Amino acid sequence: MKTKISLLVLTVLLTAPCPAQKYHDALLNELKGPVKLLIDEEGFLYEYDNNGVLVAHYYDNGKKTEYGIQCERDAQGYVTQLHMFHDKACTDFFYTTLYQYNDKRQIVSYTELESNTTETRTVYYTYDSNGNIIQRKIYIDGELAGTIEYEYENFDEWGNWLSRSSHYDIDDTFEDELRFISYWQMPTPASVPEPAPATAPAETISPTAETGWQSLIGKRLLLTTYGPSRNGQEINQFLCTSGEYIKLDSNNRLYWNNRIGGDIIFHYLIDGNRLDLIQLTGKGETDDKWIELTRQGSNFIKTESNLGIYRYFSIEE
């Protein structure tokens, strides 16, 4: 049985905050940089303001469930204690987490004290030279209960991991972990290349920031044709007759309706021309992880997915 490794939760109540102070709440979720939103593959979301404060934490499986938390900090704004509650109003206490830092301001351990048990759980971190956690040792009431080791696969521009694998010696299992992150701002590149001249004809406009997924939020995208593709080439084509469509709302939800396998709700993050997806609800399982917008005209888009499927959608207001 896998031992719980808790992530942080919700509305941070500060004691005597300094308005000019920059906080460091993202560290508690193994993050750095001006993080705006974190979504993990279990459907937990963490929102941060542009001063680095965790302002919302909730679980979303189609219905939003928020949690509450009170926070204590040291003089530099680092969290030393988190008091977590089952409710946003902070009336139903759940547990307290105590954090310890080293001189590099890395978290070296945390201890959880839960409300419904006298058990004490402490987790110790080991870092690699790049500041990534490569091992956690879990102690329960002072005795070693298990070890988790990590190997990293993909990082973003801020150096935060997006995918990694973990090995639990508790039950000798391996798991792949995936998460999506958005930021208030991205790093400034050392040099910006000159843009290539536009060559695409008007009827097959390549997606840009002014078009692209951002411009499609709130619009219904009706599936017209689809089929398998290989190396960007369409192999076969099928007409969609079920009225299948997708729609993105402004709260990072994608609704995929009238599917043969049943309706699905995803969380999405826009990463350039790619739409990263985490499934929240649905009658049928799907392996869709991302959809890339490859072409856009005045009233249609073409996409390619990680499953090797291309789709044409007509754009409806």
* Tens-digit pLDDT profile for residues 235-259: 777 888 889 999 999 888 999 998 8
Residue-level pLDDT at 14: 35
Residue-level pLDDT at 283: 58
For range 150-171, the mean pLDDT: 90
**Topology, domain 203-316:** Lipocalin (2.40.128)
- Per-residue confidence band for 27, with pLDDT thresholds at 50, 70 and 90: very high
Residue-level pLDDT at 307: 87
Where is mean pLDDT largest: 49-63, 85-99, 177-191, 207-221? Answer: 85-99
Q: Where are the domains of the chain?
A: 11-183, 203-316
SS (H, E, C) 179-223: EEEEECCCCCCCCCCCCCCCCCCHHHECCCCCCCHHHHCCCEEEE
Residue-level pLDDT at 208: 63
Check whether 31 has a pLDDT greater than 80.
yes
- Looking up tokens 């499986």 gives 61
Residue-level pLDDT at 188: 64
Residue-level pLDDT at 278: 86
Check whether 123 has a pLDDT greater than 50.
yes
The sign one gets for the Cα dihedral 229, 232, 235, 236 is positive
